[in-house]
């Protein structure tokens, strides 16, 4: 435990305003490393220049418990000499499992049936349209990191054809093992029966999928998102679902969590879960252990086990 090697302080604030005041009052004086949960975003909001300004100069490390670290302004941290870590790989299995669940559920129109059943209408007054089998369908994976590759492996077992787009191409041996074909972004949009987003949110990927992109997709495509809501322009997704351009979607993440676009909530063709991609005993334990190992290393060795990619040369 961290308490073996350092004194542990726990913030008491319940809102951003309180946190800024607590920090400015010197409550964290002398702190070297901060451990941060994904959920703490609901209290503090984004860790940005304004928030960093209130933290003591002694703070050299922010250890985020999560793979995606879009809630931390890494540039602002770099400017203050603060190094940031995340928890890559720990999330891969659970997130890919969630993506496969959403993929199958969305392909099969399961949300329509599930909603009708709970409303006491069995399959509904109008039964759900027949679903589709994954076998032989093209799965387009946008972002082929740890989660994307894990998902590809699992989707192969369902007989899907894997295409992917990524900034850097996989090693040929990995492409071969995953039977994954690298294609351009436009090709991925045009050829996928199911499109899964498995890439981080940053200023390059915000609203990467919007009206123009939906227009280039196959009519009736299924969208799966376990990455970050804001990679998709949510309003454009609602329109694409309404027009039938997108036949169904399986979503774990939303643009303004915990707010969900009413057009998604009211559309039974959307299978929705409230950001539970890593919500398992095993994976949450792995992530916490990983994040805490970063804290320990920061305190004991002055470095991080998994510094975020944007700071690799720091």
Point out the residues that are catalytic.
Answer: 228, 257, 275
CB of 278 to ligand O=CC(=O)O, least distance (A): 5
The three-class DSSP label of residue 293 is helix
Query: Closer to ligand O=CC(=O)O at the Cβ: 69 or 214?
Result: 69
Q: Identify the CA nearest to 195 among candidates 203, 205, 187.
A: 187
Choose which of 44, 109, 196, 278 interacts with ligand O=CC(=O)O (CB under 6 A).
278
113 is an interface residue for ligand O=CC(=O)O by CB under 6 A? no
Q: Are 32 and 299 in contact (CB under 8 A)?
A: yes
Contact status, residue 69 vs residue 84, Cβ threshold 8 Å:
yes
Q: Closest Cα to residue 86, out of 30, 43, 146, 144?
A: 146
- Cβ atoms within 10 A of the Cβ of 253, count? 21
Q: How far apart are CA 141 and CA 199, in angstroms?
A: 9
Tokens found for residue 125: 């007054």
Q: Does residue 38 interact with ligand O=CC(=O)O by CB under 6 A? A: yes
**Taking a C-beta distance cutoff of 8 angstroms, is the pair 102, 94 a contact?**
no
Q: Which of 66, 113, 128, 229 binds ligand O=CC(=O)O (CB under 6 A)?
A: 66
By CB under 6 A, what part of segment 67-106 binds ligand O=CC(=O)O?
67-68, 91
Q: Which stretch binds ligand O=CC(=O)O (CB under 6 A): 2-10, 65-73, 74-82, 96-104?
A: 65-73
Least gap, CB of 67 to ligand O=CC(=O)O (angstroms): 4
Give the range of 60-68, 122-130, 177-185, 302-310 binding ligand O=CC(=O)O by CB under 6 A. Answer: 60-68
DSSP classification of residue 252? S
Taking CB under 6 A as the rule, does residue 198 contact ligand O=CC(=O)O?
Answer: no
């Amino acid at each position: 435990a961290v308490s073996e090697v350092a004194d542990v302080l726990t913030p008491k604030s319940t809102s951003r305003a309180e946190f800024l005041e607590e920090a400015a009052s010197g409550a964290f004086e002398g702190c070297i490393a901060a451990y941060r949960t994904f959920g703490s975003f609901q209290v503090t909001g984004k860790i940005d220049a304004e928030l960093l300004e209130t933290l003591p100069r002694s703070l050299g490390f922010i250890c985020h418990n999560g793979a995606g670290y879009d809630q931390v302004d890494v540039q602002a941290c770099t400017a203050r000499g603060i190094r940031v870590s995340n928890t890559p790989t720990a999330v891969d299995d659970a997130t890919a499992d969630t993506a496969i669940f959403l993929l199958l559920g969305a392909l099969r129109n399961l949300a329509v049936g599930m909603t009708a059943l709970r409303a006491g209408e069995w399959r509904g007054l109008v039964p759900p349209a027949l679903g589709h089998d994954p076998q032989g369908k093209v799965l387009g994976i946008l972002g082929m990191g740890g989660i994307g590759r894990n998902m590809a492996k699992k989707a192969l077992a369902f007989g899907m054809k894997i295409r992917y787009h990524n900034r850097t191409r996989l090693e040929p041996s990995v492409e071969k093992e995953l039977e994954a074909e690298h294609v351009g972004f436009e090709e991925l949009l045009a050829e996928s029966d199911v499109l899964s987003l498995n890439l981080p949110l940053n200023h390059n990927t915000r609203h990467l999928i919007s009206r123009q992109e939906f227009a280039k997709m196959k009519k009736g495509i299924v969208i799966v998102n376990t990455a970050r809501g804001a990679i998709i322009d949510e309003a454009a997704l609602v329109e694409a679902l309404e027009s039938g351009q997108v036949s169904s979607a399986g979503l774990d993440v939303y643009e303004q969590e915990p707010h969900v676009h009413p057009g998604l909530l009211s559309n039974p063709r959307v299978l929705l879960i409230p950001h539970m991609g890593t919500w398992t005993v095993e994976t949450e334990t792995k992530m916490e252990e990983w994040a805490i190992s970063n804290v320990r290393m920061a305190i004991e060795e002055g470095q991080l086990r998994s510094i975020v990619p944007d700071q690799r040369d720091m």
